[in-house]
A and B are shown apart, each in its own frame.
Chain A
Amino acid sequence: MTERPVALPPSRPRGPDAGALGWLRANLFNSWGNTLLTVLILWGLAVILPPLVRWGFLDSVMSGDAAACRAADGACWAFIHEKLLFILFGTYPHDQLWRPGLVVLVFIVLLTVSCDRRLWRHWLAPLWLVGLGGMGVLMAGGVLGLPAVEDSLWGGLPLTLGLATVGLVVAFPISILLALGRRSTLPLVRGLSVAWIELIRGVPLISLLFMASVMLPLFLPTGVTIDKLLRAQVAFILFASAYLAEVIRGGLQAIPKGQGEAADALGLGYWQKMVAIILPQALSLVIPPLVNTFIGLFKDTSLVLVIGLFDLLRTAKSSLSDPFWHGFYREAYVFIGIIYFSFCFFFARYSRWLEANIKHSQKPL
C-alpha cells in the first residue's frame, strides 16, 4: 500500500464526469453474469415492447365506430370510450349517473385525506363512518328528493370500492378482536376465535359467497329477506376478518413479553394495555403484510360476480355482449386492469411511505 492518492477504479465512478457510460458499467455490466442477464432482458423487451406499443398506441383507434375498429390492426379504445359509463357505473339509471360519479370522487378524496397521520387520532373513524353513510344514501336515494335506486342496479366501480371498503372497515376491528381472542387465556373465547378463523380460512371465498347467498336465508325467519348485495358483503367481511386476524396475531406475537408485564405492573387494565401499549406496536410491525392482505382482498371482490353482482369485472364482461361491439376483450380487460392496478399501486406506495415515516419519527400509529 502506498501513501499517494490512488485513482478511483472505473467501476465506482463519482462526481459529474462519471456519466451515463460509467453508470451503465457499474450497474448493468459489472460482471459476466450480470452482463448476460442485462442482454437477455434487453432482448426480451425488444421482442415484447414494439408490438405492444404498436397495438396500444400507434395502430389504435381512439374514436369512431366498431367498423373503424375492425378495419384497424391496433387496440379499439373507441370501444372503451363508448362503454366507459357502463363499465364504471353498471346499470345505474342514466339520468342519475352523477351520483355514483360523486361517490367515486368522494371516495378518492377520503382515501387521500386519510393518508395524513395527523387525522388518525380522532378524525379518521368518524370521517369514514360519515363518508360511507353519505355515499350509501347518495347511491340508494329515496331521501332529499333523490329518486330511490334499488341496489340491484348498482354496479361497476362504486360497487367494487364499496364492497371492499365497507368490508375492510368492518372486518378490521373484528379481526383485532379475533386476534386478541386467539391469544386469550379464557378457553371459551380462545376456542371460538380459533374456530372462526380456521373455519373461514379453510374455505375459498367463492364458496363462502355461494353459502351466503343460499344458506343465510335458512337462518332468517320466513318472510324476511336480505338482499344479495348485503349477503355478499357479509360473506366478504367474514372472509376478510379471518385473514386480517392472522396477520395481526403475527404482530402481537412479535411484541416482547416485558411490554405486557410493564403495563400490568403499572396497573393498566386489559383493554388499556392492548389499546395503549400492545396494539400500536403490533400493528405498525405488520403494516407490510397488512397492506398485502388489503390489496389481495380488494381484488377478491371481483369474485362477487359469481353470485350475480355487477362489480367492475362483471360490467366489463357485460359490455362485451353488445352485438355492435363484439369481441373487444383485450381492451376491456386492459382497461379494468389499469383501474385495479392504480388503486393497488397507490396502496403499496403509501404503505412504503408510511413505514419509512414511522421508522423516521419512531412514533408508530
Chain B
Amino acid sequence: MVGSQHQAQPEASMIDQDAPIIRIEALHKWYGECHVLRGIDLDVGRGERIVICGPSGSGKSTLIRCLNRLEEHQQGRIVVDGTELTNNIRHIDAVRREIGMVFQHFNLFPHLTVLENCVLAPIRVRRQPLAEAQATARTLLERVRIADFADRYPSQLSGGQQQRVAIARALAMKPKVMLFDEPTSALDPEMVNEVLEVMIGLARDGMTMLVVTHEMGFAKSVADRVLFMDQGEIIERAAPTDFFTHPQSERTKLFLSQILNHTIGP
C-alpha cells in the first residue's frame, strides 16, 4: 500500500504534473499573543496522503484550517493548485472549491436531508443542474454505503453514518484535496472502522488527503508520509514505517509511546 502511486491525472497539464498541489512556505499564525504556527514548510504532492499527528494544542487543526482559509495566516505563503491564498475573496473561493473538508463533529446541516446536504453546494457553487447533482450525490452515497438514508435528516443517523454523509457531501464538490480534522475522534469505538474504511477506499482511488488523526493503523496502511507536530512546528516527517520504528526526536518517541500504549491497553 505504501509507496508512491502518483499517477498522472489526465486532465492536468504537463507543467502542473510534478508541481505540488499545495505549497506552504514559512507559515506563521498568531491568535492574539499566542504564536500557534511557527514556520511551517510543507509541499503536498498530487495524490499524496499525509497523516498529521501530535499532542493536543500543537496546531494540527489550525494548520489544516489555514489551507481553506477557515483561519487566516499572518506570515508566509500558501499556494493551492497555483492559487495563492490572500485576502482576495476570489482566490479564497477558488481554493475552497478545490478543497473538501471533513470535521470532527460532522457539521451536517440539520434542516436538510442527507441528499439535500450533498447537492446544496454543487448546485449553488458549481451551478450544476439539480438532476445531475442528485445523480452524483446518490452515487457518492452509494460509495459511502448510506444510499438507503438519502431522505433522512442527519439527526436520524448514527455518528458513523453522519460522518460518512459528511464525506460524501465534501466529495460531491469533486475536490482535488480532502482535509480531515480528527474525523473519528467524536465517534463511538464501534463506528470508527466504518468511517476509516471509507477513507481508505478514498486513498486507494488516488485522492490527495491531509488527515489529522491518532488512528495509527490508518496511518500505517495508507499514509505516504506522517508528520509529527508539537508547539506549532513540524518536528518530524517520515514514511510511516520509519516513523513508527525509528522515530528521531525524543518528543515523537514520548508521544508514540503514549499513543500506542493507549491503543494497545485495555
Contact = CB atoms under 8 A, between A and B. Distances in A.
Interface of A: 256, 258-259, 261-269, 272, 276-277, 280-281, 284, 362-364
A364 B121 contact: no
B201 interface: no
Contact count band on B: 20 to 34
Given A261-B70, A284-B111, A363-B153, A266 B120 contact: yes
Interface string B117-137: 000110011000000000000
Given A258-B105, A281-B111, A284-B111, A264 B70 contact: yes
Contacts of A362: 110-111, 153, 155-156
Nearest to A273: B124
Contacts of B105: 258
Interface stretch (B41-49, B91-99, B215-223, B253-261): B91-99
Interface of B: 68-70, 93, 96-97, 99-101, 103, 105, 107-111, 120-121, 124-125, 153, 155-156, 169-170, 173
Given A266-B169, A362-B155, A258 B107 contact: yes
Contacts, number: 64
A284 B153 CA distance: 16
Contacts of B103: 258, 261-262
A52 B108 CA distance: 57
Given A258-B105, A261-B107, A272-B125, A267 B155 contact: no
A265 B99 contact: yes
Nearest to A358: B111
Nearest to B124: A272
A264 B124 CA distance: 13
Contacts of A269: 93, 125
A251 to B, nearest CB: 13
B153 A267 contact: no
A200 B153 CA distance: 41
Nearest to A275: B124
Contacts of A363: 111, 153
Nearest to B68: A265
Contacts of B155: 362
B13 to A, nearest CB: 23
Nearest to B113: A363
A255 to B, nearest CB: 10
A259 B108 CA distance: 7
Nearest to B89: A269
A55 to B, nearest CB: 51
Nearest to B105: A258
A264 B111 contact: no
